[in-house]
């Protein structure tokens, strides 16, 4: 059981190490994170920020909170795996949502998330170009609620900009109280 | 932020210490936990099982996963706080749900949880007699997915038996792969 859970836990370390070079890093909403030249993505829960690192963000992949069976079926036919050789661009976008969001009931959050903001529908339009993995952090006591990791090929950079602009204009994003946008390129591709 | 999260984290330690004396402890489904004569409920995340203790179970209170606004309003008018002087009986019921459950989409889980199993509606019938706090454990890497803590006065013992029997007969419970039922009485009341 321990190992099963470990497989769902991920850590992102910002510092001098790791195969992902930071191209830019900016706070969209609220406070930024300290600048780090590189990011390492680790498939386990790192207990504390390594001595030479600048920040440590952790999260766990989990069951879906809003996706319906019909939506899942659409997603499954289109969503690509991480690690595609040509997907040398990545983005790590940690967000925190407001207390108002978390105090909403499940049906209210679902309505805002999809019926009013088309979160799933918007993501679907960029599949299979943009691969994505969502990590939940809130219940681990982390400073962000979610960490989303995206991977895409250089020719889809413009599509990715369009995706984040669309999401940020949505009603759901009114409940985002902090967002940092970290853009990366894989070393071998630099 | 750290302190806010800490307030949502709870640990239950089975061992020789604590104000709650174990009346009985039995596995309903799957493997039991080792016998412990007492339980201590701690309002923080204990890092590891204390040397003299037998087991440590941890969880975090979180946003609701299935409750709608209408259901929340009904719950809020009736649900009592923990710690009522006359509520000297308690139950700690750790459960784990099957992979099949967790692989269901949100709408499928909601339908099983409420439309088919009346989880919320059943709980409502026993309010305000039975106070309850739900702790989420799955994403913390714990051996159980949920820990539910109940408190009630001796005169509501029979109502509590009825509640657990009803829940266990529900369709939702077909997805429970492990359940341990721990019954307790508060020391001052012993």
Question: Taking the C-alpha atoms of B43, B48, B54 and B58 in order, what is their torsion angle to the nearest 10 degrees?
Answer: 40
Cα–Cα separations (whole angstroms), residue A40 to A18, A20, A138: 4, 6, 21
Tell me the backbone φ, ψ of residue B159, rounded to 5 degrees: -60, -40
Pairing between β-strand A146-152 and β-strand A89-97 as defined by DSSP bridges: antiparallel
| Interface contact A72-B141, CB threshold 8 A | no
Average pLDDT over residues B129-154: 97
| Interface contact B5-A141, CB threshold 8 A | yes
Q: Given this model, what pLDDT does residue B14 score?
A: 98
Pairing between β-strand A20-29 and β-strand A55-60 as defined by DSSP bridges: unpaired
Name the closest residue on chain B to residue A101, using Cα atoms: B63
> Tokens at residue A49, please?
């920020």
pLDDT band at A171 (very low <50, low <70, confident <90, very high): very high
Q: What's the rounded Cα separation, in Å, for the pair B111 and B56? A: 32
Cα–Cα separations (whole angstroms), residue B62 to A14, A108, B70, B139: 28, 16, 19, 11
Residue A53: DSSP 8-state: -
Q: What's the rounded Cα separation, in Å, for the pair B147 and B59? A: 7
Q: What's the rounded Cα separation, in Å, for the pair B82 and B151? A: 7
Average pLDDT over residues A154-172: 98
Q: Which of these, B14, B15, B35, B13, lies nearest to B24 by C-alpha position? A: B35
pLDDT in tens, B58-94: 999 999 999 999 999 999 999 999 999 999 999 999 9
Tell me the backbone φ, ψ of residue B131, rounded to 5 degrees: -85, 155
pLDDT at A2 over 50: no
ipTM: 0.93
Average pLDDT over residues B164-181: 98
Q: How deeply is B77 buried, as exposed, middle or buried, from its count of CB atoms within 10 A (0-12, 13-18, 19+)?
A: exposed
Of A5, A68, A139, the CB nearest to B106: A68
> Token match 């799955």: residue?
B138
Closest approach of chain B CAs to the CA of A30, in angstroms?
A: 14
pTM for the predicted model, two decimal places: 0.95
Chain B interface disruption, residue of A73, A100, A107, most B CBs within 10 A: A107
User: What's the first-to-final CA gap in chain A, in angstroms?
Assistant: 39
The alpha carbon of residue B123 and the mean position of all alpha carbons in its chain are separated, in whole angstroms, by 12
Spell out a b/e string for A112-126, using b for 16 or more CB atoms within 10 Å of the CB, else e.
bbbeebbbbeebeeb
């Amino acid at each position: 059981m321990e190992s099963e859970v470990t497989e769902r836990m991920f850590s992102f370390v910002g510092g001098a190490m790791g195969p992902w070079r930071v191209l830019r890093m900016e706070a969209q909403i609220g406070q930024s994170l300290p600048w780090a030249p590189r990011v390492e993505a680790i498939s386990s829960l790192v207990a504390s920020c390594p001595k030479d690192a600048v920040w440590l963000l952790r999260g766990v992949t989990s069951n879906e909170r809003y996706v319906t069976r019909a939506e899942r079926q659409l997603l499954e036919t289109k969503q690509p795996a991480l690690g595609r050789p040509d997907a040398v661009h990545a983005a790590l976008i940690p967000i925190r949502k407001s207390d108002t969001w978390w105090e909403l009931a499940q049906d209210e959050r679902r309505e805002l998330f999809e019926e009013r903001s088309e979160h799933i529908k918007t993501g679907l339009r960029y599949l299979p170009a943009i691969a994505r993995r969502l990590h939940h952090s809130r219940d681990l006591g982390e400073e962000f609620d979610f960490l989303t990791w995206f991977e895409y090929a250089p020719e889809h950079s413009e599509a990715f900009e369009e995706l984040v602009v669309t999401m940020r204009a949505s009603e759901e994003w009114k409940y985002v109280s902090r967002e940092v946008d970290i853009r990366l390129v894989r070393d071998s591709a630099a």
